[in-house]
Structure 1
Amino acid sequence: MGAPQEAITEDEIVGMELPNTKTNSKNAFTELMSKKPINPQKSPEKFGKHSSSDKAKPKMSFDARDGLGVYTVDPDAYDRVLFNNEHAVIIKDMFPKSSVHLLVLPKSDRNLLHPFKAFEDPQLLADIKVEVERAKQMVASELRRKYGQFSKSEQARIQARDADDPPEVLPEGRDWMKEIITGVHAVPSMNHLHVHVMSRDMHLCPIVMASPGFHSSPELDGAMIKKLTEDHENIKGFDASKTTFYDNVMQHLLHLTDALALERAQRARLQQRFESLRLHGRHDSSSTEQSSYVLALIDGNELIFQTSFLSQGDQGGRHAAKVLFQTINEYAFSTIDSLSIHNKVIVRVYVDLEELCSLCLRAGLVEHSSQVRLFVRGFCQDKNLFDLIDVGMKGREVVIDKMEDNLHMNIVDTHCKHILFGCEDGEIYAPMLRKLAENLETRSRITLLHGTQLDNRLASLQLAGTQMSRVFRETRVNTPKVVDQIPELSFVPTLLQESVSPPSSSSSPATSHSSFRAVTTVVHPAVRELHSRQVSASSGQSVEMSAMPVTSWAMAAKKGAAVKAPPQSSIKQRELSADGIRRNRKGQRIDPPTPEFKKDEVNRLKKLKLCNAHHLRHNCPYPDGKCEHDHIYKCNAKELETLKLVARMSACIHGSECSDAGCIYGHRCPFPESRESGSKGKPCINGENCRFPPEMHNMDITAVRRLKIT
C-alpha cells in the first residue's frame, strides 16, 4: 500500500504573495464554472506573480506549505473565495481533484495544528461542521447545474422548472448530496487546517497534467508495461483465489441454510412444548396453591403441653389441638407472604410416651398415666392432619431421627410453605438445623417453636422464633428432690422406699428404728402406679397397699404407723434393687468400672465403626441388613472391654434413673474433672461441649443397700 495521499503534489507547492488591494467581486458560481487557461498569466492568485495593478502594493509572503494562509488573512482580496464569515472561509481548490472541489479553511487559532488534534476542541468541531454542510450545498448546486440535464432523475424537475407556469415547489429530482465526499488528509501537504468538500468523480487537475515531466518517456513506458504485466499475472492468480473463495462461501451458505431450516423446525417444536408447559404450569400452580401446607414438627418430650390440657385427658387433647390449630394459622397468615386461603396445617408430634408419662407423674402434672394417654387420643381425634405419635421402646433416638428426616423431606417440597420446628435441646438440634439456617432460601421457611427460653446454641442460628404459650409450658418441668424426716416407724412400706441408708450399728433393721432416714422424690398419689410397674410381680408376700391413698410424706408416716409390721424374720438385707443395678443414696445408677483409657486403642476401634449393641448385647435394634455399623468383625476380650468404654462415652437417654440392667451406655460422665478453676459450663474437661447433662457429673458412686420386705 502506498504512502498517504497528499493534498497537492510537490510541484504544486510554490510561493504565494498577499496583495494589499481588493479586486472587484464577481459571481462565485459563474467564476467557479468558467473555463480558465491552463496557465493563466493574469490571475492574481498565480503563485509568485500578480497583475500590474498589484505591483505598487505592499506584500505579505506565504511560502511553500503555508500558501493557504493568505485566504484567511484577507479573504476579500481573492476571487477564489466563495464564502467568508467569522468562522471559516470557503474557497475553490487551486488544483481540483474532481469536477467540483472546495476547501473549508477555519479561522481558529488552532488552524496550524494537525486536523485530529485541532478538532479535539468541541466548539471548533461544531462550527466547522456547519460550514462543511454549507459547502456541500454549494457543491450539490453546482453539480445539478453542470450535469442535471444529463440525469434521468432530473428530467421531471427540469420540465417543471422550464414550464410556462412553473409550480411553487419543484420536484426533488436527483439527490446530489450523495455524490459528495468530505474529509481531511491523515498526512496533510499544507500546514493550514483545511477540509475537502468535493464530488465523487475523481480526476487529475489540468494544471498538473500540463506540468513538465507529466508525460512519460519511453523508458518510463517500458517500465510501466512491465509493471502492468506483473500486475496482470497477479490479478489472474487472484481471480483463481477469488473463485475458490466464492465456492467456499457458497458451500458455507448452503450449510447455514440447512442449519437454519433445522433450527426453525426445532424452534417450532420448542414453541409447542413451551405452550404445553405453560398451560400445564397454570394447572400446577393452581394445584400447588390448593395443596399448600404449613407443617409443625414437635419433639413432644421437650415441648410439654399446658397442665390444663394434660389433666383433662381426652377433652384436653381435643381442646389443645383446636387451640394449636388456631395459633399456627394466626402465625402463618401474619408471617408468610402470599399464603393461599386453601393452606392446610399439619402437626406431627413425636414422643416417647412412656418417658412422657413418667415425667408428668413425677412432676405432679397428672395423677394417673392414663390421663396422658387419653390426652394423646383426644389430640388426634378432631383434626385429621394432627398426629401425636408414640415412637415406642426405642425412645429418644427415634424421636430425633424422625424429626430430622421429616424436616429434610418437607423443606424441599414446593407444597410446604413453612415449617415450625418445635424443640429445646440445642446440643441435639442446632447441628441438624445449621446448614438450613445458612441457606437464605430455607432459613426464611423455618421458625423455631419453643416453650421455655431459647437455648443459646439454637439462638445462635438466628432463625425466627415463636413460643405459642397458649399451648405449651413456658417453664421447665420441675421434679425436685426433697429430704423428709420420718418419725420412728416400726415398718417402712415398700411403696414409699426409694433408697434407705445402711444401719449405723450391727443391729438388725427391724430393731434399729432410729437408723431410717429416707431420701426420695415428692410422693404423689400416682407413685403407686409408677412403683407397680417397677416392682416384680414375684414378690407375692409384699404388703398390700391398694387401700392406702398416700398423698404426702406426712400422711405416709401416719398411715405407715398403723400398718401391721411383718415378723422380724421376714426382713432381710439385700444389696441394690431387685433389677440388680447398683445405685447411690439418691437412686442414681452407678456404672461398673471401665478399663484404663488408651487413646490409640479407642481411636482404632472408633474407626472400625462397630455396632455396640451387637457386639456387647448381641441385640441390635435394627432389622437384618438395615444397621449401618459393622456386625462381622470378631472382637477379642480386650477389644470388648475397650468397646464398653467407648459405649460409656455416650450418655444414656434415660439418664441416671435407667432401669435396663443390660444398658451399655453411660449414666455418669466418664471424663476427668477440669483442673482450671472457674471454668464455664460443666465441671469436666469437655466443659460446655460435654454430651452428659449436669446431673450426671460429680455423682456419688457409693452404692447403698436396700431393704426388701418378703
Structure 2
Amino acid sequence: MNGQFSLLGRERSPPQQQQPDQFIMGIGGNTVGGSSAGSNLVSGNIMGFIHRFQALQIARDSSDTLIKDLLVYAKEAEDKLRTENNRLQNELDEAKLDLTDARAAQRDLQIQLQDAEGRAAYYSQGADLYRKQNQYVVALIDGEGLVFKPEFLRQGIEGGRRAATTFRMLILEQCGDHANEIQVMVKIVANLATLAKALKADGSIQNESDLRDFFVGFSQCLSSFDFVDIGTGASNLSSKIKESANWHMGNLNCRHVLLGVSHDPSYAQFLDDVLDDNTKDLVTVLEGVPMARELSKTMVNKINYTNTLFRSDRVGKVAASGPPSGLVTVGSTENVPAAISYAGVTSAPAVSPPPTLKLPLAPRQTNVPKTAKQPPWNPGARGLDSPLKVNQSVLDNIKKRTGSSKLCNNHYLRGPCAKKDTCGFEHNYKPNAEEKVAISFLARLNPCTNGQECDIADCIYGHHCPSTVNGQCTHPYCKFRPDEHPAGTKYKSTYRNGEAYN
C-alpha cells in the first residue's frame, strides 16, 4: 500500500555484520527512536575514552622503558660500587700493613732516640766526670826570668825540696775547697850553665853546682815537678813554654795554667792569640820581675809570690839576704856544707825529709774502723726510695721476657698505659703481687729524669741506684751517674758512668 506505514507488512532485511571499531563508532547510530544529536554525544564520549586509553598505553610503554633503564642503571652502578669497594678494601688492607710497619718503626725510633739521648747524656756526664778526675794546675816557668830567692838556691838539694813544697802550698791555697782534688805540676825551663854563671856572678850562689843541686832537690821532691835544661837559644825556651801552654789549655783536666814569664814582653802576642772569653780565667802570669807593659795590656791575670818564693829583680842585681819571711826553717844549717856537688848526690847519705807544712787543705779521710757506725746515705732532697723485697726467681722470670712480651711498667704500675696500641709492650698479662714488686724493681733500674728534684709521689722510676749493696754496685750496666751512688761505691768493670748501653 502506497503511503501507508505498516509494521507487519515491512520486510526485514538480514542484519549486517559490523567490525568492532565500527560497532564502537556506531553505537547508538541506528537505535530505534534515536536522534542525530544523541548519536554525536555518544560518539564524542567514546573518542575521549579512546584518547585516554591511548595516553595510558603510551604511559605504560614509557613506564616499562623507565623501569628497564632503571634496572640497567642500577646494574651498572652496582658493578661500579662493587669495583670501588674492592679497591677501597685493598687500600685498607695495605693501610693496615703500613700502620703495623709504622708502629714498628716508631718503636725502633723511640728506642734509637732513647739510646741517642742516653749516649749524649753519657758523653756530657763523661766529660764532666773526666774533667773532675786527675785535675791539675800547671806552672810553666822561664827559669832565667823568674828566679827563686837565693836563700833556697844556696841550700842546694834541701833548698830545692823546700822551694818545691812551698810552691805547691802557695798554689793550693788558691784552689780553695778543691785543694785536695788538685794535683800541682811545675816545669821550669832554663839554660842551666848560663843561669848558674849569672847567679854566681851576682852573689846569689857560691858555686855553680849549687844551682844544679837545687834543681835536683826540686825535681826529686815531687814527681810532678821537673826542671828542663834547654841549653843555648832563647827561642827554644819560649817556644817550649808556649807549646806546653797550648797543650795544657786544650786538656779538659787542666784547671789553670800559670806562666812565669812576667819579664818577657814577647809573650804578649801569644797571650793575645790564646786569651778569649772562655780562656781568660784559665791563665795567670806569675809575677817576679814587675810585669812588662806589653803583657799588662793583654789584661791577663797575675799573681805575686815575691814575698816568699821568687825574687823581684833580675839576676845580677841582688845581694845575698837573710831567710825569707814566712818560710819554715828546716833544722840547723850550721853543719851543712857550703856546696853539695852533683856527683856526690848519689853517694851522700839521704837528706832529711822535706818539712811538714801546715797546708790549707781539708784533711784526707782515713780508713774508718769497720766497727764504726756509718751515717745513712742521703742522696738528696727526695731521699731514698722505699725498699723493695724482691723474689729473685720471680724477678728472673720477668727478665726472661723479650721484645713485645716485656711487661709495660707504666701499665702495671700506674694504670692503663696512655700509649695504648702504639705501646710496644705487653698489657694483657695479669701479674700477681710478687711479680708487681719485681716489675717495680725493674722500673727503678731506669733513672728518673728529674732525679732528686722529682715531686711525683708515686713515681715508678729510680732516684738513686737501687743495685748498690755494701758499697758495691752489683749492676754490670748501671744507668745511674756516680753521684747517684753512695760515696766510695765500687763499680763493675763494664760500668760506663750512666751511659745508655747498646
TM-score (norm 2): 0.42
TM-score (norm 1): 0.30
